[in-house]
Structure formats: structure tokens, C-alpha cells
Structure 1
């Protein structure tokens, strides 16, 4: 990723205006455009989110800062920043950020709009991990019953459960109901008003272990949040559950808060499936193909590529230079690398609209320009469907120069033999 904002400048811009207020601090920047495309991130941010490297973080969030913000918090974050960007604008907001392991944590984000070296406006955010603050808040919760006003403003699904078998509900917040789609009456009738009956059968052992860890604290401190699935009206939801043991007067009960991150899990699973599909597709073409590209036709994007040798590197370089946009790669490559005799046909056969309109696999041959002449290359195009129903084109290129020239030589030899026989007659 090209970093248009150098780290020293980022540090100077941020530290001039903001005091360090948290235990862990990470910096991330995005252009003031839709979904805030990433223009900068530091190692502190990568570590805070559980990644070993900045590049790994950027790939995980698909190069968009918006994906570091919990979907339920994005609307408020946008309001806090404001709808007009200008150099020097500062803001402060709070939201949940995703760790690599799928859990969420609360952060305070202090940001500033600066101008990058290419003249664009970008937001640079200094994010602070509020985990220690939340832990202190949990300790206060253990000593005091939460007021209704506090409950109504807690993000996520607040609930209280008895220590009895099955953990009957003592209280369910409106947000808990909204997350899973049930009414209180439905929870009473369908689940016998018990939390455990909402758990996925495969996850009940996780909940049991979690309860044991919570009880081991004996109301002092808190156990690490647990991830499992709860049954909602629309199917199972992946949630993180932060629960503590509370003693209030003569009562002892569990007090918890769930955060739904089903969309994150589904997106991760989808990405893993796509990666596996790409691997299967690319490995499906033999090693004689020095370049294999997987092209998302609906997005006009080269999703992945395999290269070998100098010719493979040439094609990959064109992909990178053209931002992996197929509609730009083909005309650029045709102009620079394909002979005048075949570049028109090359563009016609491999243009984006042609690929989108084709139903059957096909091949075409073109003349690859060399300083000493030409080489014959063959392109093989195969079509596959992803699990979401969208089509991909797998474009493989191999060198068939020796085969073409061998056939041409054989043809000339046969023609010469025929001429000789005619003369003899």
C-alpha cells in the first residue's frame, strides 16, 4: 500500500493536538471518501486489533476504515465527525472495534482532518483501547444494581439470569430482544424463559465452562468474554458475552451483555470460501500456464493471480499498475505487449463486456512482442460461479511458440514435398 502520509507527519499532527489518554494507542487514516479508504495505519493499531503486521490488518478490513467500526455504531460515528470535511477539523467519538479473533472492544477515537501530500483530505484517528475502563466499570456493576436509564443506554443486549439450572432470565432488556428478534412472551414459551435453552447445542459446553470461570471469581473481578451462538428468530447469531457475578443485598445473579457479530463471522467465512475457491481455480490450470488470473466480472476486478517466470511477472505488473481493473488492463497490455497484427482481436476477445456476455469456455492466440520478433501465446478463458451466484472468469496464458512454429515448419515441409512430387511427374 502506498502511504501518502509519512509516519513522522502523522505523529506530529496528532500529538500536537491530542493528549495520550489510554493504555494502548493506535493510529489509522482514511481518505474523506465513501467508506474511508485506508491511507495510513501504524503498528500500534495492528497490535491493538490483534494483527502481526499492518498489511495483514489492511487486508482484513478490505482496505476500508469503515470496517473497523461496529455496524451498529457507524451512524453515530458519522454524526460525531460531521458531514463537512475541512483541513484542521477535529472530533471525538466512541465505538466498538473488531479484533482479529472476532471479539469487539470499546475505543475512544480522537481524530483530525489533514491534507495529504497528493492534495486529498484524510481523517487520521488516534484510537485508545478502553478495556481497562470497562473492567473498572464492571467492578462498579458488581457492587451496584444498574439503573433503568443506564440499562437503556448500554450498547448490546443487557440481561440478568438466575444461578439456577438452565439460568432462568430475571431481566431482559429491549436491545437483547431486538438483537435476537424474540418477544419476552416467546422466550417464556419457546425457551422456558431459560438462557441455556437459547444456546446452540454445540456451544453449551462453552457456556458451562464460562459459568465455571465466572463462579471462580466469586464476585471479584471478571472472566474473559465468551463467544458462542444464540438462537434468534432468523437463525443462530454469533455473540460475545461479557458476564459477571453480582451480589446485591441477599441476591446473587449473573449480569451480562451480549454483542452480536454475526455479520463479521459471515463476512469472514465468505472471504475464506472465496480464498479456497480461488486456490482451487488457479491450481486447476496446469503449470504450463505462466499466468492465471481470477477476474470478478461484476466488479471489473482481478481478485487474485498466479505468476511464474518473466512473462508471468509482466502480466502481474500490468494488473498492479492498472489497479487490478480488467477494463484497464486489457487495452494497456494490448497496446504495449501485443503485435499490431493481433492487438485488435486481443481486445475484442478479452474485453470485459465480451467476458460478461460469454457462456462457454474458449481459447484465443495472440502474438507477443519481443525485441527480437514475436512469440505466440495462447489465452484460455474458463468460467466458474461463486457461492453467491456471481460469475468469475479464470484467464490462463501459456507460451505455445514452439508448438506453432513446429506446425508451421511441418506445413512448409509437407508443401515442399508435394511440390517436389509434382515436378517429378
Structure 2
């Protein structure tokens, strides 16, 4: 086979691969020159139609011949900085952003690309993967978790109870913001749990996991950021593992008021018991439903009363 034949075959294979890629990607291909705003060079038919355009000419008019104008205004600066930084270091980039559609709406994509040279021209080629459905599902799940009464979190079943995710209500339970939880505690929830509770909690979780039960429940006392102690009730289920470590999906509610009320009731009951024990001969009973008092004589014992 001659060099010319090899070159022709290589060109044919590259063309077939290019046609295969641009037609099989959930999104498409996008190419632009590396000048200001990334002047338009190419868009695949699949991506073009996904954005609602009939022709490349129509798309070029819409974006004023610059790819940056086809990106959501709020994402343009970040996208430009990320792409240029990668190009300057001759690296591949990956970035998530929104592309504008003809009707004014947008799709979410992950763009993966790098710099190429062709016929003395420098341009950037990007594979754009449509992730709109995934983003919308994540947003729906986020809204759902924010509306659940209590905190929602995902943690690792490791010795630190490492936090992987928490909704707004979760952080409110602890008094920390997401950033504060990361910087001050390293996302280690074990640092918030009273030591005498930590051991029993781990025993409950490990016992449930070994017995292959799907759900667990436990109470815990934590140190709130303000220094107070809060009582929390946790209901959870085991999820998939990360690097061999199981994860826990949990819903947590604050039961501090209930626990404090129960403690106060127990104290009052003990006070009443002591008062009854020390009463010499008469006990007053109040009937709540009848709204009336009654008097009954206490039985005498050799210790607390005398015979008349």
C-alpha cells in the first residue's frame, strides 16, 4: 500500500468517525475559532435542531457569528475563563453551562473540548452532552428535600460519619452553613455528637447493616454551633457504597422540645411523689374533666401518721 493510499484511507476513517460521533452524541459537536467570543466555525445538525434552528446560517445570525452569544448570559464569563485557561495550558476542559435555544429557553450541557490546529487556523472543538433532564431531575429532588419536615443528608458509614450532602434544613439543625461545616468541622459529623452517644449510634448502624436490614433509627444529642445541646431523631436507610464504604440516606428531625418537656414532666412527677410521701393525712386530688377537687384520707403507717 502506497503512502497516498494510506493517507486516503486514514482520511476516510477519520471522516467516518467524525460522522459517527456527531450523529450519536446526545447533544452534538461545536467548533469555534480561538479569537474573541470564539467566532463560529461549525455546529452539528443534531445540536442545531436541538436548539430549534433550521440552518447554520440562521444560528450564525442568532449568535452574531460568535459562539459566546449562544451561551446563557449568566454563564458566559465563567465559561470563557475556564476555556481560555485550559487552552493556554494546552489542556482539555470540561464545563457545565446553558445554551440558548431559538425560542429563548435553554438546555444544560457539559462541554468537553480542546484546542486544534487546521490549515494554519487555531480553533476549539467541543463535544456538548445534553444533560437537561438530569439537571431538571436534580432540581426537582432538591425542591423535594427542601420541603421535607426536617433535615435530609447523605453520610458515609465511616468512623467520622463524613457528610456528603445536606439540605438547608439539615444545616439549620446544626447551626452551621455548608461552608462552615466544611471549614470548621471538615464535614465530620462525629465532631458534633456527644461522645457517650457516638458509640451506641455506631453499634446500632453496624448491627442493622450486619443483619441486612434496610432501615435504622436512633436518637442522638449534638452540640449546636451556639453551644447548646440539641436532641435529634434520625431515620435512615443504607444506600450504595463509595469505594467500598456504605452510604446512609437520613431524615433528621429536632425533638429537643419534646425531650425537655419529658424531662420536666419527670421532675414534676418526682416532686409530686415526694410531696405525697411526706403528706401526713390528707391528699387533694384535682379532676381535670370534672373541674373539681376531692379529698381522700391517706392510709396511716407507723412512719407517717398516728392513730387518733
- TM score, norm. by length of structure 2: 0.46
Bigger relative CO (Cα 8 Å, ≥ 6 apart): 2
- TM score, norm. by length of structure 1: 0.36
